[in-house]
Structure 1
């Protein structure tokens, strides 16, 4: 019975490592007609490389996010010698909690998710560099081109599509914009939070909502195509980056940090990337100086985004 149990475990293990993908070495071919001893199975388990799992905040369609981030993990593998896997969570998953539970060791996340995860000991490793060459970005409010909405104050009594409540550009910064204009959620006819910037954009493009809160790059792209009109632009705030959970070997974290700082997506590391210009760090990554997210922390607290 013990030998049979080990054989069953071995078959399960082989299937698992065959379907997870992103593995650089082809799995060993094993003749299932032959006997696999317990000692051989133990050796197989022992020699499997350790993987570090990486999560991310949703920005575009999940499939597009995955295609964009997987080449970055391949780059990290080449530069550091460690193995990485991308982990995709359900729409309602709390990535801060997933980090607390060690489901992932690294995360490509925005300031809100990082601020929510701070209580679990999560630290910012690097910050993204935007197309403007800075580590700050903005949010914008857009409407259909022919809308009567001309300023953010015209949103009173109208409908507004937000991004996810954990989105900095899609929710937190637009809430700051509304507050600074003397508006609160109660002043809107209705509002809804969508899972991605793309979903929020589609909500206004389809006419289901009068306006949408979007990241600046997407809003500017849609405006340049004549699909939307930008009616409000925020101030600049610190942008997204890569964070690390406590418990990760400091040597591993340091290697990942240096590899990200060395990453040149518009230069020597461009080959193999997938639409990296659509990311929030199109020009790579920069060092974290001081406490860049201090300006957002009280606002996130005020809007109840750090609870849970």
Structure 2
């Protein structure tokens, strides 16, 4: 699938076009502000573009730790009226950005209807906001039910006014970072698409990484070599702590993934990995029981 990047401003579109490497990727300039964003989303939803879609540009930094040139990948989009749109798959893109040597955080981006003097003022009354822009929440409609990601680079931070002369210098820094981050969007796009997840079990049978790999391999049968839980000679296998460890390079072209976890791992961790993968495209989950549990552990005498 070919990546479609939506960029509100001319300078943003120029930076992205210079940074993208895949000739199949395209950049669409949508215009600044919510009115133009809504019109562009409506047009794109019925146009020839099929995505996956990315929204990219600059933003105002709300988090005090952010500096000009830092990258924000949206895990959710919020509007001033409190409406919120969750974006699974943010960590996959963030990991691709970090591999390029850029500082990257994930969090909620607030889309506002008018320009405020500072990003912090624009986010006043909203908890948990990392960055502020004027388009992303409305451009999201262009993707429909397909994969969508939002990448913004901080242009004004530390409560600095957008009308400060320093903002011009910081804006130039942000545009350079946006150009550098563009290849990460293509890596995210290559990882996008429908896939099947084979949930191997029983999990209590998977005592240790080696045993877990064996269970997943048996569940996969003849489906080929996917991503499992760890790297092992002759296979593609990964051990991850949670959903934040997913690397898009592992997922490119992989349409079947084996997944398992130890018996002590909370179910929510497995669910979070599945949800993160669902942010890259439709996911079908199949349970695969590959062994009957027969191991029993006797209680110590002290507790019997």
Q: TM-score scaled by structure 2?
A: 0.27
Q: TM-score scaled by structure 1?
A: 0.27
Q: Which of the pair is proportionally richer in helix?
A: 1
